[in-house]
């Protein structure tokens, strides 16, 4: 080996960077595998719907605009694509039909909401949840009534709404119940009571849509104190 060869050295390779350790998951963001049963809060929507709505918010808003204008029966993929300035192929690539497209639009408009703020009490959380429900029913009463009628005459739409939209909306009320059970305000099994999850939105919708009356704080407080909390605190003998 020559002196030139002895003086040549291989450049040192820098050590690989180590990724920082992930921060501990909070109760609101922990996955079902890591969050404790008492504090785990389910995600507000399924991942596929989230991906679609994040990419096409304007298209989905167009769907609801057209529903208000022409109704479900006269709504077509052609008119949605033309109004939103996208190709029909783009729409069909993400939604197989009209019913699925409408369901995605409803998820974006009505269900993609944050879990109600933790007020520190079951009563406060329920009032926040019902106020949000009342605001939606008031703002979109015509749309909700039109879709309710369409569901009665269109089995495909009814099936899609029941399978995709209604379960996603229930996640919000489940989160409120989970927190209350963790505080010891209600029995742990209370969250499984279908009566509560059915009553909470149904009574608000009936008040606004069927009777044409405002769901103000006086009504919501009576609903919480006299109906919902007793249902959740009920213990069978």
Residue 171, CA distances (Å) to 100, 132, 182 in order: 20, 14, 16
Q: What six digits make up the tokens of 134?
A: 């009342």
Q: What six digits make up the tokens of 143?
A: 């749309």
Q: What six digits make up the tokens of 172?
A: 């919000």
Confidence of residue 236 (pLDDT cuts 50, 70, 90): low
Q: What is the pLDDT at residue 116? A: 78
Please indicate whether residue 19 or residue 183 has the higher confidence score (pLDDT).
183
Burial class of 184 by CB neighbour count within 10 A (0 to 12, 13 to 18, 19+): exposed
> How long a stretch of residues is the chain?
237
Q: What is the DSSP letter of 192?
A: G
107-117: per-residue pLDDT in tens? 988 765 667 78
C-alpha span between 29 and 170 (Å, rounded): 18
Range with the poorest average pLDDT among 91-95, 172-176, 191-195:
191-195
180-235: per-residue pLDDT in tens? 999 999 998 876 778 898 899 999 999 999 999 999 999 999 999 999 999 999 87
Range with the poorest average pLDDT among 46-60, 76-90, 167-181:
46-60
Query: What is the CATH code of the structural domain delimited by 116-237?
Result: 1.10.357.10
Domain extents in the chain: 43-112, 116-237
C-alpha span between 108 and 44 (Å, rounded): 11
- Residues 205/208/212/218 CA torsion (nearest 10 deg): 130
Please indicate whether residue 198 or residue 101 has the higher confidence score (pLDDT).
101
Confidence of residue 167 (pLDDT cuts 50, 70, 90): confident
Confidence of residue 168 (pLDDT cuts 50, 70, 90): confident
Range with the poorest average pLDDT among 18-22, 158-162, 209-213, 223-227:
18-22
Report the 10 Å Cβ neighbour count for 232.
21
Range with the poorest average pLDDT among 2-11, 107-116, 166-175, 200-209:
2-11
Would you say residue 37 has pLDDT above 50? no
Q: What is the pLDDT at residue 14? A: 44
Q: What is the rounded radius of gyration, in angstroms, for the C-alpha atoms of the chain?
A: 25
Q: What is the CATH topology of the domain spanning 43-112?
A: Tetracycline Repressor; domain 2 (1.10.357)
C-alpha span between 99 and 88 (Å, rounded): 15
- Cβ within 8 Å of residue 108, ≥6 positions away: 53, 57, 60, 61
C-alpha span between 193 and 216 (Å, rounded): 26
Q: What is the mean pLDDT of residues 64-93?
A: 95
Q: What is the pLDDT at residue 56? A: 84
Q: What six digits make up the tokens of 44?
A: 């507000």
Q: Measuring CA to CA, which residue among 209, 223, 58, 203 is closest to residue 140? A: 209
Q: Do domains 43-112 and 116-237 have the same CATH topology?
A: yes
Please indicate whether residue 8 or residue 206 has the higher confidence score (pLDDT).
206
Confidence of residue 8 (pLDDT cuts 50, 70, 90): very low
Would you say residue 30 has pLDDT above 50? no
Would you say residue 23 has pLDDT above 70? no
Q: What is the DSSP letter of 44?
A: S
C-alpha span between 173 and 181 (Å, rounded): 13
Torsion over CA: 157, 162, 168, 173 (sign) = positive
Confidence of residue 172 (pLDDT cuts 50, 70, 90): confident
- The stretches of 97-193 forming alpha helices (DSSP H) are 98-106, 122-139, 141-153, 155-160, 166-183
Q: What six digits make up the tokens of 120?
A: 């520190």
């Amino acid at each position: 080996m020559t002196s030139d060869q002895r003086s040549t050295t291989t450049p040192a390779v820098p050590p690989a960077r180590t990724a920082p350790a992930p921060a501990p998951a909070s109760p609101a963001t922990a996955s079902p595998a890591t969050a404790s049963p008492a504090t785990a809060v389910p995600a507000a929507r399924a991942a596929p719907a989230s991906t679609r709505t994040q990419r096409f918010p304007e298209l989905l808003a167009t769907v609801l605009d057209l529903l208000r204008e022409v109704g479900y029966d006269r709504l077509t993929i052609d008119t949605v694509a033309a109004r939103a300035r996208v190709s029909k192929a783009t729409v069909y690539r993400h939604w197989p039909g009209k019913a699925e497209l409408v369901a995605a639009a409803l998820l974006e408009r009505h269900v993609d909401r944050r879990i109600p703020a933790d007020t520190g009490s079951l009563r406060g959380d329920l009032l926040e949840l019902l106020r949000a429900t009342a605001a939606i029913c008031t703002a979109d009463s015509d749309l909700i009534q039109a879709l309710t009628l369409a569901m009665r005459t269109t089995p495909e739409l009814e099936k899609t709404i029941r399978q995709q939209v209604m379960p996603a909306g229930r996640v919000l009320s489940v989160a409120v119940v989970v927190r209350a059970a963790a505080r010891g305000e209600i029995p742990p099994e209370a969250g499984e009571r279908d009566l509560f999850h059915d009553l909470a939105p149904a009574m608000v919708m009936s008040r606004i849509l069927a009777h044409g009356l405002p769901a103000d704080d006086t009504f919501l407080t009576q609903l919480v104190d006299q109906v919902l909390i007793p249902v959740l605190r009920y213990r069978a003998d």
